[in-house]
Amino acid sequence: MEYCVSSCCFPALREPEDNSAETSPLLSQHRLPPYIYRPLAADEIRLLVLHPARSFEDEIVVHFQVVRRSDDKYFEAVSYAWGDDQATATLLMHDEQYATSFLHGQSFLTRIYRYNALKEQLQAFLRVRANVTTMLRYLRYPWLPRYLWIDQLCINQNSRDEKSQQVNQMGEIYKGSGRTLIWLGCSKSHSRPLAALEATWLRSRPSRGRDSDSNILGEREGREGEGYMRLRPEVRRILSLSWFQRRWVIQEVALSPRPRFIFGYDEMTFEDMTYFIDQLRKISYDIPPHIGNAIHTLETMTSLFRRSRFRGAGIITNVRHDVYYQYYRHHPKSNDTADFIQLLVSMHSARCSDDRDRLYALNSLRSDPMIVDYQQTVEEVYGTLAATECTYSLETLYCSGAFPSQSLPSWVPDWRSPRRWIPMKSFEGRRPSDQLLSDSPRRPNLPSQKPVFINSKTMVINAVTLTFVAMKGPQLYENWSFNPWLCLNRYLEFFTRTNGSTTPHNDIYDIESLDRLIATLTAGAISSGENLKQWLEAYDSPRSYKNARKEYLDPCCHNKDRTFCEYPQAHSNIFNILERIQEILKGRCTFITDRGDWALGPAPLLLGDIIVALAGCSYPFVMRPRGPASFTIVGDCYIMLPRYLDEVLAQSTFRAISIV
């Protein structure tokens, strides 16, 4: 039924100028007062009723309808990028009570007539951004009204109390919508980019079917070999749109029952969009950072979408995702919520205009959402979250050094700061080929592991001092992408020479050293470096990393225990591991402790910094002394200890330290 209404009610296709919808000559005829929002009750939301219009150029007429969330009123939520421009366009408004009573209970034909009659009884105007009027012109029907929930309009942005109240309900609003319309924009020069995206995929797909991922991967013969291509302009154009950089859209899509992309009159389901882009990414190279961030956002949405999508989903939805879309098999279904701190780490590049929204924009994805309060300062919001999360799990402290601050205590992550490095915890539970960071939950504190004391400046916890930094080694080499073999040799030389080794250069490739090297650089994810030897011995050959990929795809790995290669018969997956090492090393450096332990830690560490372990945390911390039993957190680290960290802590004596 909805499909029939959508198809018959859309206005005739017309491609106006990009700014044709921003102004209307009819608006100057109306001398109307500005619209004044009426307060909402705690369980109420405000829907925008978009009046029909038979001409694209007709002025936009709307009225608000206040409903209770329990009324089960059908509406469509709209997800879009607000833009940076000021509110210069105008919507013509009716009084909601009069419009509702005037239209309620009337027949279909009578309601059409009365919508036209309402145009002569306008009550007010509402200032909005120009991109909103453009969007509404494309979304409105010629004969029927459309019930929409648009956060910028349906929430009084000038009322902090209402804004806090409505943002607290935002997750339930999107869950309760009939579907979510993802408005990407419009363009006269590129009117059908979504159709062009599908056509691009159809031209590049393998011949044996839609979901033959192995076919696509099997065509790889190197970065410039057959099967690879530069990322097509159609994909770049779509992923460069501002919607993909916006932070709020993550929960808007993840919690929606049926998200759908719209660009002008071009439409595509969320499943199709993510599938096509994922397939084209697999056979593309030379992906710019901002495009990579957009792809990462889509993959994160997909993973979150899979978590919430199947709560009560029908058999058609399950079959569609599990069979038709093999891409979704990499994002397992789950009824559990994602770890909120891991989500903040993963989506650090997503943007918002208010720094408090770095938390609030993802708040509905928490298992226990925090209370949204726009009366608090940014520092108060971040400090409250850190205290709450550290009380739950001390593994929250892994983020402290990665998101440093000059105005907050070192144990409070400043989510406004660019991410310096990825916390070790974020790599747990993911295979080397996975693009996403881990969403595995942090370990909750046992009663004895909780902080002894927390206030706005200081945290007192029980800890064990393990050792200190004795020698600082190299960071990620600039030429890693060109020749990682040479870089791995340099790391190996640093570790072996500083251990007092006097063996010749070619003898450093003993199994024990290679095992320690690969375990250190992968933060313990891989324990065997046996298959690395042949690569390192040939590091000084003239071939480049790109040619090495092409040359060494054929040999098989015979490692049966999967300790090095991700799959036993796929030697090419060594490159997945090299890419994982590159991600771990970003912002970090190698170092050696006073006991001779090989280690990986934050790049800002200094000689003499203390290595401290906390009960319940998988990785120790680099801390800097600030006074007697007082420290600041530099960051998390990985140390090749002779025993597991839990065993070391079980035989150690804890003492209280203060983190400031």
Query: 């007697």: which residue's tokens?
Result: 628
> What's the confidence (pLDDT) of residue 205?
64
Q: Evaluate if residue 459 carries a pLDDT over 70.
A: yes
Sign of CA dihedral 98, 99, 104, 106: positive
Average pLDDT over every residue of 555-579: 45
* DSSP H or E run through 306: helix 289-309
Average pLDDT over every residue of 458-463: 94
> What's the confidence (pLDDT) of residue 246?
93
Q: Evaluate if residue 499 carries a pLDDT over 70.
A: no
Residues forming a β-bridge with 148: 48, 76
- Of 280 and 185, the one with more pLDDT: 185
Token pair belonging to 565: 């290669």
Query: What is the share, in percent, of the chain residues with pLDDT greater than 90?
Result: 38
Contacts of 613 (CB under 8 A, 6+ apart): 463, 464, 466, 620, 621, 645, 648, 649, 652
Angle among Cα 428, 429, 435 to the nearest 5 degrees reads 90
Q: Evaluate if residue 501 carries a pLDDT over 60.
A: no
| CA separation for the pair 438, 440 (Å, rounded) | 5
Average pLDDT over every residue of 590-598: 94
Contacts of 651 (CB under 8 A, 6+ apart): none
Q: Evaluate if residue 657 carries a pLDDT over 60.
A: yes
Helix axes 511-521, 574-585, angle to 10 degrees: 60
> What's the confidence (pLDDT) of residue 513?
85
> What's the confidence (pLDDT) of residue 155?
96
> What's the confidence (pLDDT) of residue 334?
58
> What's the confidence (pLDDT) of residue 28?
42
Helices marked H in 140-179: 151-154, 160-168, 170-176
Give the start-to-end residue ranges of the domains of the chain.
2-185, 193-330, 340-467+596-659, 477-585
> What's the confidence (pLDDT) of residue 527?
77
Task: For 88-129, write each residue's pLDDT tens digit.
Answer: 889 988 877 766 666 665 666 666 666 666 666 678 899 999
Task: For 205-237, write each residue's pLDDT tens digit.
Answer: 654 444 444 333 333 333 333 444 567 777 888
Sign of CA dihedral 556, 286, 584, 425: negative
Q: Evaluate if residue 273 carries a pLDDT over 80.
A: yes
Token pair belonging to 152: 């910028």
Average pLDDT over every residue of 466-476: 95
Task: For 300-340, write each residue's pLDDT tens digit.
Answer: 888 787 766 544 445 555 555 555 455 555 555 555 677 88
Nearest to 632 by CA among 654, 652, 590, 602: 602
> What's the confidence (pLDDT) of residue 538?
56
Task: For 350-402, write each residue's pLDDT tens digit.
Answer: 999 999 999 999 999 888 899 999 999 999 999 999 999 999 999 999 999 99
| CA separation for the pair 529, 512 (Å, rounded) | 8
| CA separation for the pair 429, 341 (Å, rounded) | 16
Helix axes 574-585, 484-498, angle to 10 degrees: 60
* pTM (whole model) above 0.75: yes
Task: For 159-176, write each residue's pLDDT tens digit.
Answer: 999 999 999 999 999 999
Q: Are 90 and 127 in contact (CB under 8 A)?
A: yes
> What's the confidence (pLDDT) of residue 504?
43
Model confidence at 563, pLDDT cuts 50, 70, 90, reads very low
Q: Which of 310-314, 514-518, 552-556 has the highest mean pLDDT?
A: 514-518
Contacts of 44 (CB under 8 A, 6+ apart): 66, 67, 68, 69
> What's the confidence (pLDDT) of residue 535?
63
